Chain A
């Protein structure tokens, strides 16, 4: 085995936001390239600005991982990218060896590079692939012990007692933890709990608890969280977004086709696509497709795994793709730029579609996750569209417009209290209580409808409408009423509509002196 080493780094040390640079400056990365690939020399000749990366080429690396620990230990290394020829390696073998060499559990990425052809286009694409992986590595913070779950490979079938005297082969999977300072479960948000298909997440008295033994590491909670409060090393929002941005920013002269691929779809030969691994294809929101197109991708695809995608997940994925295509069509962009990549059809069928549009314009800034990702990506496409996007409704719309009936709504404030994205807010001032909607923040979660005590009377409904005028108008008052102040402490504690409704519900038992004069605190003291 021969090793050719090259260190290419330019340490700038300043610039950018403080926090991002702090983390990047701690990265000492190694890109290990299989020397058998015809693109190895191009990758080894890369330069990386701002952080310390070295590049080493090793012959026959795909078939022989012996000695990579020595290569890693030649210099301090805490991030590893292994670039291997397609389909000729065992991923878990490399992961295991890198752990043994001291790289932290999720500190290694494996990327695939061509094994046969050495065209200029392939060389450029491979450099872009590694550039994307480096950006992803730099965005990776670290994994806490609570983010690491042990899984035993091939543990599906029966195993003999004798076999268990030896430790079964281990794989480590990322499991989510919650950033408590960002989480808003205390105000009633249950988005992560609702999204979990395995009932592994519970909101217990305002605190989200993750049952890691039930968690299947699908990452759907990451996509559902409007606050980006779910920490999921390897597949975190910032890692995925950084990789996409880096790929789109690389000016290699090629058209960029981005495939969000299920991490279980190992060694799938899909030509022409830059692979962005995700924990499960179902964690890719519609905003990922729209934001990536608007940031300049020629086409965007979702690649599911063959076996594990449930029927429900497949339906969700197809629904989101259909929604995103609808947006593109209305924006006057070829909707073939969004592709549902079939896992069972490999090779030429999965080539990127022939589309005539030039890449989109923009700063390559990509926002895939969080409460404003969908609305911002639609607005970006609207900017690019000659005539603007016409309003439409869609069952899988990630944005919506809550519609409040001024006759049925009692202004009780429940909808605004539970709204996880801050789209609905209720404020009281100068004897007036106001309910305000900022549709640009709505994530179409239906929490408002589900929590409304008057929903049976049609007090609030969610219109799954994508409407540029609603997204751009800003906060709008959608209902208002007279506020009632406490006779004792003067706090404005309810609305006249709420008292009216209470009177109807309680009938003869209603007492204005009891319910309409004192706030709950003063009532208790009295």
Chain B
């Protein structure tokens, strides 16, 4: 029997850090978030061995090492890679990989508005709004990952405050959002990224997102009956 001695609060906090970092990487302003990535990466990699028993950990660690080891010089190269992969491209160049959910719907699909409305509903029901001023659309990968990070943070606080009901509520919110949104399009996004050349550390980041999303959805689904029936 695996002896996981970590608390649910520890796991939720680890997942919060993980999603925050992934969000920062795909937000694109790498130089500004460099310190955050570097500091948090070492913090996550230093957690005790209970985390290494989680199936998502090897991919997370690989992604963190890749970004944690970057220095100011290599950031320029990574920023160029980001622009080549995800930035606006001249019409003659091959198209970039879209970073928002609605781009992965069938072209011209009527569901675009529905998806955006659904994403916004998830945000508002959790008491937050996406800010158009930031330049990011609500279905941008960085915004969706940051939202999950926010819910993980609330879950961690709930566990720390002995609030079982709130922790369960936050898990339910995460599960629904992962199920309805991130798990639906991230695998296609990852296929797009891995199909490109010169992906640098972004391929590792994309794979880490996919592994984390699939793990967490599965983990929360498996945990749900236990949480429901707990006495």
Contact = CB atoms under 8 A, between A and B. Distances in A.
B222 A159 contact: no
A170 B226 contact: no
A99 B230 contact: no
A96 B3 contact: yes
Nearest to B11: A167
B151 interface: no
Interface in A67-109: 69, 90, 92-93, 95-96, 99-102, 104-105
A164 interface: yes
B180 interface: no
Contact of A167 (B7, B59, B164, B231): B7
A170 B215 contact: no
A26 B225 CA distance: 40
A430 B52 CA distance: 66
A399 to B, nearest CB: 38
Contacts of B162: 165
Contacts of B225: 155
Given A164-B227, A167-B11, A172-B55, A148 B215 contact: yes
B49 A100 contact: yes
Interface in A126-167: 145-146, 148-153, 155, 158-161, 163-167
Given A149-B218, A150-B222, A152-B226, A165 B2 contact: no
Contact of B55 (A105, A152, A160, A213): A105
Contacts of A172: 55
A104 to B, nearest CB: 7
B221 interface: yes
Given A104-B58, A145-B215, A152-B226, A93 B53 contact: no
Secondary structure of the A contact surface, majority rule: mixed
A171 B2 contact: yes
Contact of B52 (A100, A148, A163, A170): A100
A212 interface: yes
Contacts of A388: none
Nearest to A155: B226
Given A105-B55, A148-B215, A169 B227 contact: no
B222 A165 contact: no
Interface string B1-42: 111111111010000000000000000000000000000000
Contact of A149 (B5, B222, B230): B222
B214 interface: yes
Interface of B: 1-9, 11, 49-50, 52-56, 58-59, 159, 162, 164, 187, 210-211, 214-215, 218-219, 221-223, 225-227, 229-231
28 contacts: A69-B49, A90-B1, A96-B2, A99-B52, A100-B49, A100-B53, A102-B52, A105-B55, A148-B55, A150-B55, A150-B222, A151-B222, A152-B226, A153-B1, A158-B230, A159-B229, A159-B230, A159-B231, A161-B230, A164-B8, A164-B230, A165-B8, A165-B159, A166-B4, A166-B5, A168-B223, A170-B2, A172-B55
Interface of A: 69, 90, 92-93, 95-96, 99-102, 104-105, 145-146, 148-153, 155, 158-161, 163-172, 212-213
Closest 9 pairs (CB-CB, A-B): A96-B2, A145-B214, A100-B52, A145-B211, A167-B4, A161-B230, A150-B222, A161-B164, A100-B49
